[in-house]
Amino acid sequence: MAGNQEYFNRRLHSLLGIIPIGIFLVMHLSINYFATRGAESFNQAAHFMENLPFRYAMEIFIIFLPILYHGIYGIYIAFTAKNNIQRYGTFRNWMFALQRFTGVFLLIFITWHVYETRFQAALGNAEVNYNMMADILSSPFMLVFYIVGVISATFHLANGLWSFLVSWGITVTPRSQRIATYATIALFLALTYVGLSATFAFINPELANM
């Protein structure tokens, strides 16, 4: 029974990392990318998302609760799982370790990000717009923290997708896993470009299109 429960928890953890969390991350980075077109474009995109019907219900049940479960159970996995060099080799072992490290860091980063944006807006202390992000990222420490957060998030999603494909039996042969490796690396690079372009757009529009 305990084994079945752990199997279910791991499958749910894996699935939530892609649907809906992974999809939300792609959408979130896409919205942020509007900052490369200027403050007005970003504000329009952000306000569109804020005015979606049932926004609070979607945020709770599609974003916050899945992230909470994925993050807490991910911490459990990070501190109990062992690297499997014999099965996957040195490269995959490093990816395994980085997946756990970025997962722990992202739990801290997301908590900070939600507090600085959504929580402050809910208290009426600020409005989620271009100026808010520009003010946050004007601090060199926060800028570095945010850059590391973006890279951690894009890596965690891309590498998690590779693990998802293996654990769900989609890529079972060495060749299919090798192709998945190339595809997820491309995904990581593309999403990182989008995320960092948006980040630099908030502090210097001229650096937006790197």
Q: What is the pLDDT of residues 114-132, one digit of tens each?
A: 999 988 888 888 889 999 9
Answer yes or no: are the C-beta atoms of 49 and 31 closer than 8 Å.
yes
Architecture of the domain whose range is 2-207: Up-down Bundle (1.20)
CA atoms of 140 and 64, how far apart (whole Å): 28
Reading the block at residue 150, the tokens are 């973006």
Reading the block at residue 133, the tokens are 């992000």
Residue 71: Cβ within 10 Å count = 19
Distance separating the N- and C-terminal Cα atoms of the chain: 52
Domain boundaries, the chain: 2-207
User: 182 or 87: whose pLDDT is higher?
Assistant: 182
CA atoms of 42 and 38, how far apart (whole Å): 7
CA atoms of 101 and 161, how far apart (whole Å): 16
Q: Taking 70 as the threshold, does the pLDDT of residue 150 lie above it?
A: yes
pLDDT reported for residue 209? 46
Q: State pTM to two decimals.
A: 0.91
Q: Would you call 29 exposed, middle or buried from its count of C-beta atoms within 10 A (0-12, 13-18, 19+)?
A: buried
DSSP alpha helices (H): ranges in 123-139? 130-137
Q: How confident is the model at residue 84 (pLDDT cuts 50, 70, 90)?
A: low
